[in-house]
Amino acid sequence: MTPEPAAILPSRDEPATIAAVTAAVDTALNDPRAVIIHTDSSDHPTTSDHFTATPTRARKISLTNVPRGKGAQILKALAHLPDTDGPVLIADTDTRNPDPDVYRELLVHGERGFAIADYPRYWDEANLTSHLARPLIAAATGHDVPQPLAGDLALSARAIRAVRTAVNTMDAQLHPAVNGYGIDAFLLLTAAPTGRLTSVTVQAPKTHAASFPHLPQIYDQAVPVLLALTAYWPHRLAPAASAPPYRPAHRTLDPGRRAAMLATLHALAPADPRYDACPWPVAVADAWHSVRNGTAPHEAAHGLWPHYVHRVRTWLTAATPPNERAAQLAAAHTRLFGVLTAHSTRSRIS
């Protein structure tokens, strides 16, 4: 008999999308022995009510009043997983175009290790992924994952065991970050050594709630985890590779929305000429090396923050033709490997 699969759906105030995601996940599982665990930290019961009311073949477990934080929700669900050798799917519940075929393929590949969705992102989105997370993970670990912070993924039973062990043994300073948006990087980098790592290509951009309004919180929780786990990666750096393909999807950015985004960035970290003196991605390499030399990951992330904001601001204001954006991202990706490995130590960024 085939192993029983399972799914985890973390949510907070997603009443408009939870039912469709639940139905799509159930279709992908296609197994009455399966279980779907919904962990909800919503302000109102509507989201959990819609989950409970959605007909499924799989058994459902509804966990409510879970502490806020995506990581806290996922880790809470892990404690309620049945004892099975089947793969575990984790799916974003704010997705407006959930695709059972994508979930099904993630489950198939997840049986052998770790599988994660690779969908194109609009050029003005996914800034943390495109400018920092993807190139840093690739340069430091040799795993070039196009969407390393994607919320749609699947893990093998072996990977789940590794995650549970890592949670119990990690540095206490990382716990708050892993309980939040740092969970995505934590799951990927913990599962990567346990089996095959597969990116499942999706052709259409994912439609979901915008992440830009939560940029500081996402950065504060994801980047310390990225720096900590890549700086102490147990294997040698991979050799430099040719420029990898990036797939930024084009759309016209409304001038009013662009102005609002730039005003937000200015309030977070005003423009300063000194950031041009430390061009991206040199600042990333400096932060990474500082962690290797003993700086706390949160402190290094704090020092990198204004450089990152400047990078996003520059990216949004540059008059780059749409057909050249992918090449620019690929060039920065390749350059990071060079500056990361050029010297064994680098000076700490200020």
- What CA–CA distances, in Å, run from 284 to 88, 241, 262, 279? 33, 19, 22, 9
- Specify the pTM: 0.94
CATH class for the region spanning 6-214? alpha beta
For residue 350, name the pLDDT band (cuts at 50, 70, 90): very low
8-state DSSP, 172: G
pLDDT at 83 over 60: yes
Average pLDDT over residues 49-66: 97
Return the pLDDT at 239. 58
Span of 34-43, 79-88, 196-205, 310-319 with lowest mean pLDDT: 79-88
pLDDT at 193 over 80: yes
8-state DSSP, 197: E
- How far is 21 from 41, CA to CA, in rounded Å? 17
Backbone angles phi, psi at 335, to 5 degrees: -65, -35
Q: Which range has highest mean pLDDT (135-144, 217-226, 243-252)?
A: 217-226
Q: Is 294 left (phi over 0), alpha (psi -120 to 50) or beta?
A: left
Question: 108-134, pLDDT tens digit by residue?
Answer: 999 999 999 999 999 999 999 999 999
Average pLDDT over residues 234-248: 72
**3-state SS class at 238:** coil
Backbone angles phi, psi at 342, to 5 degrees: -65, -35
pLDDT at 72 over 70: yes
Token pair of 120, please? Answer: 């194109």
pLDDT at 345 over 60: no
Domain ranges of the chain: 6-214, 248-341
